[in-house]
Structure 1
């Protein structure tokens, strides 16, 4: 803990120095609230322009999510105007202001006739920093054009997506992924794999919530990633068309259409993709007996993944009156995949003499289909913020896979999965006075999943046949309440959430069943203190859990290799985590810094471990490496991170993030190994006590080149890390993009090079059963996708290039809940 202690002290010292800087006592505050004149709903990102009539100096600010603005400025005579996209600009008479002034509620009216003539004063930055969350705006990021949702997540500060598609937040995989504030079939049966099928153009922004309030699910010990899909809200008919071509094969098309009138808002996005993803996986396994090399097995695997997919999201919002609306949304996803894996295998004795060679070819076809229907009702009961929101969501996801394996021992694997999910949710918000707010709600989520996994192999050892038929049912009923208030510069939000979980698992092949029922309470506490309009502190505490997903519980085996196998564990229990987060935000001049120190203590921690089995392969006893999740005793994780944005000029912008963390794991794992010849059973106990540090960082530069060509360069580095059984080397990756507006700014061309130096390769050294006494040592290198070059063309009609989506308020907050304090 010495390193982390020193770093924490440094951060506190810097924070104290920033906090003690003297303020300008001559400044005054100009405040107010800007709303839609028709609906009385707040307008976020409205611009307030102050022009000093004596010095001609122009300053100002923008409104927050509640429509409020607070601008610090010297005393003087000002010409003040308020502007917002697609609204008429409101100007105030020239006035000498020598004391704090509150303009009250300012109402703006829509200006539908001059939409194309409006000039946006301030462009949205790629990352918006809020006191309770970080918001990553996808539209301004050129490096993900032509990519997928997985690529978008991989470019979000604090987030990493590894070669297998696993998403982690602050170095932890225990993260909850929501779509528009709710669990969604978009994530699919394959978990994060399905995110590779969703085009990046369908995403408006990603919200990173590291200290969630009680309103959110308690699922996700590291926090929540909320993916917000595009929903156009500009008046009239407008939209955009995107076409992408790339190498390796990457053909995509996307259409976003929106039609809005006084009574309806029809929004939609459609996407089609045909992508190919060549990659490699290489491993060499050294088998030891009594510390002496027995043999070596080398596997070199070439993967070629091809997937075609179509997705459509269509929604209709109907305004019942000025205060309420009902929205229906249908999402459809249909994709077909064909993956080929060619695994060249060689085995050698200790002297290097070849024992045998074989080629294991796996041809896997996969069909994924999802249908989801959502219904949302919002009633803004009064102008003070009282609101009732009701949600219902039904989805059905089906996944069928067939893998034909050609080898010395040929086999066929088939998997058929079907998941039916239902969600019912109600949220109520009641303002109390001007600065307080009470919330309460209910969420019920109900999942029924069946999975039939069949392995057909003439020479398969009957004692190791992994075929199984699983039925999985999970019902979660949750209730929450929270209260928040603001007293001068201090704000607080207290919440309590109760979740009742009913879990039932049946393995039909073995007639085994597992039933687990538990009720948990999850308190949340969030504090905020504003030193000034530019400096603030936040402190958050939350208790959260991680329920094992069906994929973690299902004991089916990945059969691409006979000696390196991954599977689930039906006897997993939830992980519980207590999280603390201290944040500091400072804006001065052209630089914005958001930093935080965090600590997490987890019990019953779910960790993937390597164990050993002895199986008969090609007539010989062979040690097999089995990777599966287990519950360990505990994990402590501490770290700090910061995100910085620096706008050097209108043509040069820099941003970066850095995350350093230390984790300490404690626990033991014991399992039995059966000798297939003698049936003798031996017990192996592995100690997983380990302590390690790691870090990752991003740097982003956006520069305007001659001829108005926009360039963006992104560097990303993941530091090395190790645990009780493995060591992973560091990874450096570089993305490069260029953008040029054409056709009178109605069209945009983007050239994107992902992984410029083709360096994103995962290299892992692992030891089983333990680093101290290994019986096999495995060196692995894994490259999911090689360097990608793509060209994307976007055409917009009846739409301003920098047009911001304004929030009507009728549809509620995009995160699926009320407002945070």
Structure 2
């Protein structure tokens, strides 16, 4: 910190020498003081103090506060205008201050700029959760639970977000959620797997945007999750190193290094990990005849052994051409190799429930994933505050290659069956975006922008049965997506009312080509996506809002591919290449209230989604030893009406105890019929009309014990939910973590237990009259224990980092200037 301040003072001193170059030496006077946060009285580190001559924009001298909030600057005798600034706070200006001797300005208190962001920030250490009217910002650095974990672990600890045992992410109970990384769509082919690979240590924060405006990509009817990666922000040379080990294997080493001066900022994050994720599943199914009498039954337990080693790294450089123009370039590289062995034991029973025979299926799978991405950003700020032009671009390629050998033996036969599967996927993506922001006057602002998203995914899937290609499961699927978007929005603030109105248009050109069967399908459609946000400040401690937006969900990947894997030969998932996008209209009522130790954020929301995706199970007409093969496919037959209520509480009863809780209740009303002709040429109608409700709740407690040991506990309950063909049962889970700072706060030792009671499972029940009744219980990963060590150099724990205000598609909101 002293080095940083010294550099700043030397630079300012040299500028002063240049300014007074031709004058006789004049004795310098010291200007000192202290800057604090008005509400909490905490010192503000990295606040800037600038001294100017009256009616002159050129800085004469200045300084930067240290970790105690103190500053010191040297000037010649005279009269100065003094400005004190800190990001997201109202600046303070002292006009016409006469300096004729060493002067102490005393303590200067800055207050948060609520009018600028309409935000309520709970500040403790460095905030863990920032609550705003249109989103929540989760700062990952203080979460002990994610040490040594992945992005999936981070998301599972965030208010409003839930991650099921299979890694599927949902927002307020809605799995139609768009996941962005640094404001851009993830270039991963399988986003669920990608979230299990990227280390938590690479993440700065996660933004939860429940009802996005027209500025954002229209994808994601349930909202947007924006994962913001770490970048260099602080002046000077600094960094963090983290090492971790765990049981089952959870070993990793990662580091973040940053260097920044006035002209250049360099940043890099490097990480290597080796993890195992053993899991298990059991599926008990009873099959019926057409008269609902029992035909037979199968008990199908599975054991999964998963091992993966991965490297994740990036390198970036930001060039500051001047104070208002920057150019940032980043290269990201990710590689992961894994082995997954799936043991399936199928125990067959007769109609009288007597044991018949057993089949053993072993699926040995090896995978190799490589991802390369280049991103660039050019930002030009004009003279008027808030007037800005940005250009963003990215080019990426991702290769996922998977090969598996499936062997099958049985007690009723001496024949060993051998299946080989190859699944090679390659995705190329180009993204171009430009945004322009123009303040029109006091309290009003205009925005406009363009976004082009162009991607191509080729999936080459091949199945061989005993060395012979099976044409029913072999295909090359080519998916091309071209989306061009234009948006504009206008916002203004009058007294306590803020209004933001926007319109977005997206032109979609989709090609779904099955090359093996020469089946080509092109879908072209254009859609308007309006949005409107109204916010009213009831007082300086509370605000209320109402918002509307229209969203879209386009089917991709596995949802479209009619050829799938053969892990089980009697329960097969088959994609539907004829799926249409789902459209959502969303309305949200929000309210925020802040007290001294308590902050409440609540929301009442309503979504209507047409052509919603539903999973339908049906008989294929094929049999394995008399057992029908059941196919599960997504369909478009239903309309869904979703209503919910949510609240988040941040409560700090004492300095040593902080509580965060989140509760969400929602009801889903699904309406629609699935009509199809089965293998007996009989028309079957499945009614999907269903009204179901569910809820989930999360409680996080962080206590500072004696000897400055931090103790964090997370409790999570996912309520049960019914659907047209069955239900998912409720589930409780708990996580636990302890940490202790060492080496004069330069190091931290953390110990955490994920799923303390080893009961985080997904339990599903399905009933199809005249077909089957089943109960499946899946645990993707068993309880995990991790020990980690963090070391920081030239960077104190929880220090505030100066960073520029942003107003683009990476998660910021309307700012009113003037």
Indicate if the aligned counterparts of 1:596 and 1:640 stay in contact, CA closer than 8 A.
Answer: yes
Aligned to 1:651: 656
Residue in structure 2 matching 1:797, options 784, 793, 798: 793
Please give the secondary structure, in 2, of the residue aligned with 1:760: coil
Is 1:397 equivalent to 2:398 in the alignment? yes
Matches within 5 A, 1:420-459: 420-458=428-466
- Mapped to 2, the partners of 1:470 and 1:284 lie a distance apart of 33
2:481 paired with 1:485? no
Matching residue of 2:722: 722
Partner of 1:775: 771
Distance 1:527 1:50 in 2: 28
Q: CA deviation at 1:106?
A: 7.7
8 Å Cα contact 2:638/2:688 also seen in 1: no
Deviation larger for 84-93 or 635-644: 84-93
In the alignment, which residue of structure 1 is the partner of 2:564? 557
Deviation digits for residues 50-89 of structure 1, max 9, x if unmatched?
59xxxxxx858999x9x9xxxxxxxxxxxxx996869754
Q: Which residue of 1 aligns with 2:646?
A: 641
Give 1:353 deviation, angstroms: 2.4
Q: Partners of 1:626 and 1:314 in 2: how far apart?
A: 45
Partners of 2:314 and 2:809 in 1: CA distance:
16
Map 1:748-787 → 2, pairs under 5 A? 748-768=748-768, 773-787=769-783
Name the SS for the 2:192 alignment partner: helix
CA pair 318-255 structure 1, distance change in 2 beyond 3 A: same
| 8 A contact 1:132–1:820 mirrored in 2 | no
Q: How does 1:252-401 map to 2 (within 5 A)?
A: 252-289=252-289, 290-401=291-402
Say if 1:83 and 1:595 are closer, same or farther in 2 by CA, change over 3 A: farther
Question: Which residue in 1 is equivalent to 2:582?
Answer: 575
1:431-483: per-residue Cα shift (whole Å, max 9, x none)? 11121110000000000111110000039896x72211111111000000000
Instruction: After TM superposition, give the deviation of residue 596 of structure 1 in Å.
Output: 0.4
Counterpart in the other structure of 1:815: 810
1:502 aligns with 2:509: yes
Give how far 1:241 is off.
0.4
Conservation of the 8 A alpha-carbon contact between 2:421 and 2:565:
no
Aligned position for 1:54: none
User: 2:762–2:777: 8 Å Cα contact kept in structure 1?
Assistant: yes
Structure 1 pair 818/655, CA: closer, same or farther in 2 (3 Å)? closer
1:174 aligns with one of 169, 173, 176: 176
Superposed displacement of residue 385, structure 1: 1.3
Rounded to whole Å, the distance in 2 between the matches of 1:794 and 1:528 is 42
Q: Deviations over 1:261-303 (max 9, x none)?
A: 1210001111111000110010111001111111001111000
* 2:474 paired residue number: 467
Q: Deviations over 1:765-796 (max 9, x none)?
A: 1123xxxx241111100000011000010000
Give yes or no for contact 2:216–2:809 (8 Å, CA) kept in 1.
no
User: Which 5+ residue runs of structure 1 have no aligned equivalent?
Assistant: 1-36, 39-45, 52-57, 68-80, 94-101, 108-119, 675-679
- Offset at 1:410? 1.8
Gaps of 5+ in 2: 1-10, 13-33, 50-62, 74-79, 82-89, 96-121, 410-416
Q: Hey, what does 2:682 align to over in structure 1?
A: 682
Indicate which of 636, 644, 666 corresponds to 1:661.
Answer: 666
Distance in 2 between residues matched to 1:537 and 1:657, nearest whole Å: 19
- What's the secondary structure of 2:145's corresponding residue? helix
Distance in 1 (CA, whole Å) between partners of 2:68 and 2:578 is: 56
Q: What is residue 148 of structure 2 aligned with on the other side? A: 146
- Cα distance in 2 between the residues matched to 1:795 and 1:104: 36
**Do 1:429 and 1:818's aligned partners in 2 also have CA atoms closer than 8 Å?**
no
Distance 1:154 1:166 in 2: 10
1:299-344 residue CA offsets vs partner (Å, 9 max, x unmatched): 1100010000001011100111111010100000111010001111
Q: Which deviates more from structure 2 when the two are superposed, residues 587-596 or residues 81-90?
A: 81-90
After TM superposition, give the deviation of residue 246 of structure 1 in Å.
0.2
Residues 722 and 83 of structure 1: CA distance in aligned 2, closer, same or farther (over 3 Å):
farther
Distance 1:390 1:818 in 2: 18
1:726 offset after TM fit, Å? 1.6
Inter-partner Cα distance in structure 2 for 1:426 and 1:50: 37
Partner residue, 1:673: 678
Residue 278 of structure 2: SS of its match in structure 1?
Answer: strand
Deviations 1:205-233 (A, max 9, x none): 11010111111000000110000001121
The DSSP-based 3-state class of the residue aligned with 1:382 is: coil
The Cα offsets for residues 239-258 of structure 1, whole Å up to 9 and x where unpaired, read as 01000100001101111000
User: How far apart in 1 are the matches of 2:93 and 2:474?
Assistant: 66
Q: Distance in 1 between matches of 2:400 and 2:617?
A: 28
C-alpha separation between the residues in 2 aligned to 1:383 and 1:794? 42
Q: Is the 8 A contact 1:215 1:817 kept in 2?
A: no
C-alpha displacement of 1:47: 6.7
What is the aligned partner in structure 1 of residue 521 from structure 2?
Answer: 514
Distance 1:443 1:493, change over 3 A: same
Structure 2 length as normaliser, TM-score?
0.85
Whether 2:719 is the aligned partner of 1:710: answer no
Cα shift at 1:122: 5.1
- Residue equivalent to 1:738: 738
- Scaled by the length of structure 1, what TM-score is found? 0.85
Conserved? CA contact 1:279–1:302, under 8 Å: yes
| Corresponding position of 2:108 | none
State the distance in 2 between where 1:212 and 1:505 align: 29
Say whether residues 1:156 and 2:158 are aligned partners: yes
SS at the partner of 2:758?
Answer: coil
Deviations 1:687-719 (A, max 9, x none): 000001100000111001111100000100000
CA contact (8 A) 1:750 1:792 kept: yes
Aligned to 1:77: none
Correspondent of 1:615 among 622, 627, 646: 622
Instruction: Note if contact 1:378-1:812 (Cα within 8 Å) is conserved in structure 2.
Output: no
Q: Distance in 1 between matches of 2:132 and 2:534?
A: 14
SS of residue paired to 1:569: coil
- 2:6 maps to none
| Deviation, structure 1 residue 556 | 2.1
Task: Please list the CA deviations of residues 578-625 of structure 1 after superposition, one character each: whole Å capped at 9, or x if unmatched.
Answer: 0000000000120000000000001111122222222132xx342122
User: Could you tell me how far 1:135 is from its partner in structure 2?
Assistant: 0.4
Residue in structure 1 matched with residue 186 of structure 2 by the alignment: 184
Q: In structure 2, do the counterparts of structure 1 residues 330 and 401 end up closer, same or farther at CA, with 3 Å as the change threshold?
A: same
Cα offset, 1:407, TM superposition? 0.3
Choose from 377, 393, 414 the match for 2:422: 414
Query: Any residues of structure 2 matched to 1:27-66 within 5 Å, and which?
Result: 48-49=36-37
**CA separation in 1, counterparts of 2:508 and 2:203?**
31
1:631 is matched with: 636
C-alpha distance 384-284 of structure 1, shift in aligned 2 (>3 A): same
3-state SS, counterpart of residue 208 of structure 2: strand
From the superposition, tell whether residues 283 and 816 of structure 1 become closer, same or farther in structure 2 (CA, over 3 Å).
closer
Q: 1:816 to 1:160 in 2, by over 3 A?
A: closer
Residue 808 of structure 1 deviates from its aligned partner by 3.1
| Contact 1:726–1:765 (8 Å) recurs in 2 | yes
